[in-house]
A and B are shown apart, each in its own frame.
Chain A
Amino acid sequence: MSYMLVAVVLILVAVGTVLFHFISPWWWTPIASNWGYIDDTIIITFWVTGVVFVAVVLFMAYCVWRYRYREDRRADYEPENKKMEVWLTVLTAVGVTAMLTPGLFVWNQFVTVPAGAAEVEVVAQQWTWAFRFPGKDGKLGTSNNAKINGDNPFGVNPDDPKGKDDILIDDTELHLPLGSPVKMLLRSKDVLHDFYVPEFRAKMDMVPGAVTFFWFTPTRTGTFDILCFELCGVGHYQMRGKVVVEEQADFQKWLNKQKTFAQTMAKTAASAGDSPKPVFKAADTGSTEKEITR
């Protein structure tokens, strides 16, 4: 085997990988949430690991050429080199720390929901989405999958007064107001699902029998795809939705058009009551100052 050829191919692999990285048209979508920190952590990781990869491959190319077999030569006999091994360990540890430290900082932000984040519930089932907003009391009523029936597809507890004014969106299109932190509460009726919008960068599995969550702040108006990101059966790839991020006023207009839990129940009971105007509110208090208008 030609040593030169192999060395050249190894160099081409290293150079080609780097070139591909920079000219690839496939890269992440323009971000539409506050999680730019995640993108930054990925960039740091790229630099640290990219340098190691290129160094290792180029060093091998050098060795293949420089130490090619010759009948009259012997390899150097050096079983150990403590100093070099200690140095390499220390350098690697530094590189790992450079990636882990920002990673853990950002993870801390990711798992710490800011006070004042509004709550929205996402309910997944094979193979569609539905959503629930708290009503004017700012609180979601309790729910339980065991209470689901034809009149109550969300399984909202009918005995919980907080649930009466909850706004039910039995549709795959979700609207969210621009610039307000939102805590997504995730439920599933049947199997595992995962709520993901690539432009938001944040996702979490939905587990039947539990309520999971993540939070983010939409930072850009637009219409984005919702995709299910956890295999949920044969219709998994068709489980799509839309999320529309819009100005607060437009959002409020949209929300006002939706029906409350009490209204949907009343409709089936063929009796109409006053329909209070729903207001999108902070979850942790019921007070009106927390109304999201930023």
Chain B
Amino acid sequence: MAYVAPAEFDHVPAAEVPEVDLYHAKSWVTKYVFSQDAKVIAIQYSITAISIGLVALVLSWLMRLQLGFPDSFSFIEPDDYYQFITMHGMIMVIYLLTALFLGGFGNYLIPLMCGARDMVFPYVNMISYWVYLLAVLVLLASWFVPGGPTGAGWTLYPPQAVLEGTPGADGGIILMLVSLALFIIGFTMGGLNYVVTVLQARTRGMTLMRLPLTVWGIFVATILALLAFPALFVGAVMMTLDRVLETSFFMPVIVQLGEVRENYAGGSPLLFQHLFWFFGHPEVYIVALPGFGIVSDLISVHARRNIFGYRMMVWAIVAIGGLSFVVWAHHMYVSGMNPWFGFFFATTTLIIAVPTALKVYNWVLTLWKGNIRLTLPMLFAIAFIITFVNGGITGLFLGNAVVDVPLSDTMFVVAHFHMVMGVAPILVILGAIYHWYPKITGRMLDVKLGHFHFWVTFIGAYAIFLPIHYLGFLGVPRRYFAMGETTFIPESAHTLNEFISVIALIVGFAQIVFLYNIVRSYFNGEPAGSNPWGATTLEWQTAETPPGHGNFGKELPVVYRWAYDYGVPGAAEDFIPQNVPPDKVVKAKS
């Protein structure tokens, strides 16, 4: 039930949760470095992910310099350019977005929002972070091996990924594959924790249908990741064998420089693409679903209104998660696979638009008849909806097999996936940081800097990616170091590229301002109090801010209602926290 009548919960017994046997850290090292506290691990994950994300940001600047001013930067060679695009893509998708949503927000919010003291396996949770850090270090190490990192494109398609003619075919590709395998191992340890914690460690009264949508989004995304990452793992292992031991899983007879290579025969390049996208499509939703969940909560809290159609929202998340496993080959309409698959995958892909569109409707219907506060989290949430809808509808172009034929591998694809799984999720992440920073640090972020950051990021990112779609219609290919001479690309397209590159530098600069805000506010920010936004969910009801180890002090909260009791008729306040019993609700004076 969405709205739970108070009477139903008279039978919930008083909380008598004994102090569970949490391992309390005894030294500084076990408290802040090898910590088993999910909140500390969350911050470790977040700092690592944002740091490696800054590397990806710098790489994007270098790419844009080359695209905007192809003859001006002699230090960018074709090799470098292909390494930039590859590492930028892989870092953003895996090492930043996946790690930050699940390892960062998942670790911080799941125990707090479920009313648990910690993850159920704190030790494994700690190991998860250190294996992730190792994966990041191995990835960075590829800049220091002969030949540098791989330049095979983030999709790593064989045979080219492992052959000369592609940068990093010596060592870079091996380190990339090893790093991915490590990431998956580390993620699996964390992921099992998130799933088991949601299923087993919810506090009394916290039924699944009372969970905040943030937890639903992260929970379903984690299940997807646990099922999808193994496909990438075996793909990475098989390609490593092809590269190192010269097996031929993905390698047919290859002719290079006029000579038949004796070492490879009989493998299938398409097999890798199937494995990659069986992971890669759910991956889109691994990044999207936590964003969906978080943005639902941001909108509801800051519009002071219950989320519209909670049950529909939950089932939409589950349906999208399920469907995401039967759409992978829409990335392969022009891959040379049997073209008759196109009918199936176009149909499933367009069906997924229905639950996704419903989520969008329910977000805007939550604003409707709300009492909207234009706080920074709300601004970012609105910007998310715009960019997500924009990127989602271009997905309807690419998902419809025959429309994909002219558009695939053009800049249209680049614009589409940046809008829908770059800009949109990052806007949610930024909104979420503005929203939960007061809980994590006890201080508010600076609002003036925040507004500067918001407007430059939102308008700038939109101005970057909207016109790129149109270069794609024109037929400008992606992954071109330089366009050179063509008969069909007008001079104005080059001017547009210069414009986009300049905006990209400005938007990047705004992120530096944001980081400055985070650091400055940590020391000088206005004290936040325990519940500055007037939110209902349990993380805002902790005794201490920031919450201590064990989250809730002596007694775990008992949950009496869903997470969206905003504007309840007859109540004095415009929100009722989840742990307020029906007889304690202060009535409005009539």
Q: Encode B555-574 as 1/0 by CB contact (under 8 A) with A.
A: 00000000010111100001
Q: Encode B366-397 as 1/0 by CB contact (under 8 A) with A.
A: 01111111110001001001100110011011
**Interchain CA distance A3-B479 in the complex, whole Å:** 42
Instruction: Decide if A17 touches B343 in the complex (CB within 8 Å).
Output: no
Instruction: Decide if A70 touches B371 in the complex (CB within 8 Å).
Output: yes
Mark the stretch among B13-21, B191-199, B265-273 that contacts chain A: B265-273
Instruction: Decide if A234 touches B151 in the complex (CB within 8 Å).
Output: yes
| Distance in Å: Cβ of A277 to nearest Cβ of chain B | 30
* Interface residue tally for chain A (C-beta within 8 Å): 107
The reply to whether the CB of A60 lies closer than 8 angstroms to some CB of chain B is yes
**B269 to chain A: closest residue by CB:** A207
The 9 closest A-B pairs by CB, nearest first: A209-B252, A198-B475, A49-B393, A75-B305, A212-B336, A191-B160, A75-B567, A233-B165, A76-B369
The reply to whether the CB of A220 lies closer than 8 angstroms to some CB of chain B is no
The reply to whether the CB of B342 lies closer than 8 angstroms to some CB of chain A is yes
| Distance in Å: Cβ of A138 to nearest Cβ of chain B | 24
Instruction: Decide if B492 touches A26 in the complex (CB within 8 Å).
Output: yes
Instruction: Decide if B487 touches A223 in the complex (CB within 8 Å).
Output: yes
The reply to whether the CB of B358 lies closer than 8 angstroms to some CB of chain A is yes
The reply to whether the CB of B12 lies closer than 8 angstroms to some CB of chain A is no
CB neighbors of B among A192-229 (8 A): 192, 194, 196, 198-199, 201-210, 212, 214, 223-225, 227-229
The reply to whether the CB of A290 lies closer than 8 angstroms to some CB of chain B is no
Given contacts A26-B493, A233-B160, 6 further A-B contacts (CB under 8 A): A20-B466, A20-B470, A75-B306, A77-B566, A88-B357, A92-B357
Residues of A within 8 A of B451 (CB): 1
Residues of A within 8 A of B357 (CB): 52, 88, 92
Instruction: Decide if B309 touches A24 in the complex (CB within 8 Å).
Output: no
**B252 to chain A: closest residue by CB:** A209
**B353 to chain A: closest residue by CB:** A96
Mark the stretch among B212-220, B223-231, B398-406 that contacts chain A: B398-406
**Interchain CA distance A50-B358 in the complex, whole Å:** 17
Q: Encode B263-290 as 1/0 by CB contact (under 8 A) with A.
A: 0011111100000000000000000000
**Residue with the greatest number of chain A CB neighbours at <10 A, chosen from B151, B361, B564, B569:** B361
Question: Could you list some 24 contacts between A and B, CB below 8 A?
Answer: A26-B493, A27-B473, A29-B475, A38-B406, A60-B386, A69-B372, A70-B371, A74-B567, A75-B567, A79-B306, A99-B350, A107-B343, A110-B405, A111-B339, A144-B253, A145-B254, A190-B159, A204-B336, A207-B335, A225-B488, A232-B165, A233-B165, A234-B167, A236-B480
B336 CB contact (under 8 Å) in A24, A48, A210, A240: A210
| Distance in Å: Cβ of B424 to nearest Cβ of chain A | 13
The reply to whether the CB of A106 lies closer than 8 angstroms to some CB of chain B is yes
The reply to whether the CB of A126 lies closer than 8 angstroms to some CB of chain B is yes
Q: A100-B350, A203-B334, A237-B481 are in contact. Are A29 and B474 (CB under 8 A)?
A: yes
Instruction: Decide if A189 touches B368 in the complex (CB within 8 Å).
Output: no
User: Helix, strand, loop or mixed for chain A's interface?
Assistant: mixed
A27 CB contact (under 8 Å) in B346, B365, B373, B470: B470
Instruction: Decide if B389 touches A52 in the complex (CB within 8 Å).
Output: yes
**Residue with the greatest number of chain B CB neighbours at <10 A, chosen from A93, A145, A190:** A190
| Distance in Å: Cβ of A169 to nearest Cβ of chain B | 17
Residues of B within 8 A of A57 (CB): 386, 389
| Distance in Å: Cβ of B578 to nearest Cβ of chain A | 15
A80 CB contact (under 8 Å) in B2, B165, B351, B459: B2
Residues of B within 8 A of A199 (CB): 488
The reply to whether the CB of A289 lies closer than 8 angstroms to some CB of chain B is no
**Interchain CA distance A126-B546 in the complex, whole Å:** 58
Mark the stretch among A146-154, A247-255, A278-286 that contacts chain B: A146-154
The reply to whether the CB of B486 lies closer than 8 angstroms to some CB of chain A is yes
**Interchain CA distance A241-B350 in the complex, whole Å:** 35
Instruction: Decide if B165 touches A207 in the complex (CB within 8 Å).
Output: no
Residues of B within 8 A of A107 (CB): 342-343, 346, 401-402
**Interchain CA distance A234-B172 in the complex, whole Å:** 15
The reply to whether the CB of B364 lies closer than 8 angstroms to some CB of chain A is yes
Residues of A within 8 A of B167 (CB): 234
**Interchain CA distance A235-B177 in the complex, whole Å:** 23
**A72 to chain B: closest residue by CB:** B371
Instruction: Decide if B368 touches A67 in the complex (CB within 8 Å).
Output: yes
**A112 to chain B: closest residue by CB:** B339
Instruction: Decide if A64 touches B382 in the complex (CB within 8 Å).
Output: yes
B403 CB contact (under 8 Å) in A45, A67, A69, A225: A45
Instruction: Decide if A81 touches B481 in the complex (CB within 8 Å).
Output: no
| Distance in Å: Cβ of B332 to nearest Cβ of chain A | 9
Q: A92-B358, A231-B160 are in contact. Are A201 and B310 (CB under 8 A)?
A: no
Instruction: Decide if A77 touches B567 in the complex (CB within 8 Å).
Output: yes
The reply to whether the CB of B360 lies closer than 8 angstroms to some CB of chain A is yes
Instruction: Decide if A191 touches B163 in the complex (CB within 8 Å).
Output: yes
Residues of A within 8 A of B396 (CB): 45, 48-49, 96, 99
Instruction: Decide if B403 touches A41 in the complex (CB within 8 Å).
Output: yes
B402 CB contact (under 8 Å) in A89, A106, A212, A233: A106
**Interchain CA distance A198-B394 in the complex, whole Å:** 19
Instruction: Decide if A60 touches B347 in the complex (CB within 8 Å).
Output: no
Q: Encode B311-343 as 1/0 by CB contact (under 8 A) with A.
A: 110000000000000000000001110011011
**Interchain CA distance A35-B365 in the complex, whole Å:** 40
Instruction: Decide if A42 touches B367 in the complex (CB within 8 Å).
Output: no
Instruction: Decide if B260 touches A148 in the complex (CB within 8 Å).
Output: yes
Residues of B within 8 A of A99 (CB): 350, 396, 400
Instruction: Decide if A63 touches B339 in the complex (CB within 8 Å).
Output: no
Instruction: Decide if B165 touches A68 in the complex (CB within 8 Å).
Output: no
The reply to whether the CB of B308 lies closer than 8 angstroms to some CB of chain A is yes
| Distance in Å: Cβ of B586 to nearest Cβ of chain A | 15
Q: Encode B482-520 as 1/0 by CB contact (under 8 A) with A.
A: 111011101011001000000000000000000000000
Instruction: Decide if B466 touches A17 in the complex (CB within 8 Å).
Output: yes
**Interchain CA distance A9-B258 in the complex, whole Å:** 59
The reply to whether the CB of B157 lies closer than 8 angstroms to some CB of chain A is yes
Residues of B within 8 A of A68 (CB): 372, 374
The reply to whether the CB of A6 lies closer than 8 angstroms to some CB of chain B is yes
| Distance in Å: Cβ of B230 to nearest Cβ of chain A | 24
Q: Encode B452-466 as 1/0 by CB contact (under 8 A) with A.
A: 000000010010001
CB neighbors of B among A97-155 (8 A): 99-100, 103-104, 106-108, 110-111, 125-126, 144-146, 148-150, 153, 155
CB neighbors of A among B53-100 (8 A): 78-79, 82
| Distance in Å: Cβ of A250 to nearest Cβ of chain B | 19
**Interchain CA distance A6-B574 in the complex, whole Å:** 24
Instruction: Decide if A13 touches B408 in the complex (CB within 8 Å).
Output: no
CB neighbors of B among A167-201 (8 A): 186, 189-192, 194, 196, 198-199, 201
Q: A67-B372, A79-B564 are in contact. Are A205 and B255 (CB under 8 A)?
A: no
The reply to whether the CB of A10 lies closer than 8 angstroms to some CB of chain B is yes
**B570 to chain A: closest residue by CB:** A77
The reply to whether the CB of A288 lies closer than 8 angstroms to some CB of chain B is no
The reply to whether the CB of B471 lies closer than 8 angstroms to some CB of chain A is yes
| Distance in Å: Cβ of B387 to nearest Cβ of chain A | 10
| Distance in Å: Cβ of A147 to nearest Cβ of chain B | 8
The reply to whether the CB of A238 lies closer than 8 angstroms to some CB of chain B is yes
Instruction: Decide if B2 touches A100 in the complex (CB within 8 Å).
Output: no
Instruction: Decide if A20 touches B467 in the complex (CB within 8 Å).
Output: yes
Residues of A within 8 A of B406 (CB): 28, 35, 38, 198, 201-203
The reply to whether the CB of A78 lies closer than 8 angstroms to some CB of chain B is yes
Residues of A within 8 A of B370 (CB): 63, 67, 75-76
Q: A26-B474, A52-B393 are in contact. Are A42 and B492 (CB under 8 A)?
A: no
**A191 to chain B: closest residue by CB:** B160
Instruction: Decide if A74 touches B371 in the complex (CB within 8 Å).
Output: yes
Q: Encode A80-98 as 1/0 by CB contact (under 8 A) with B.
A: 1100110011001100100
The reply to whether the CB of A56 lies closer than 8 angstroms to some CB of chain B is yes
Residues of A within 8 A of B211 (CB): none
**Residue with the greatest number of chain B CB neighbours at <10 A, chosen from A41, A96, A189:** A96
**B333 to chain A: closest residue by CB:** A107
**B376 to chain A: closest residue by CB:** A1
| Distance in Å: Cβ of B74 to nearest Cβ of chain A | 16
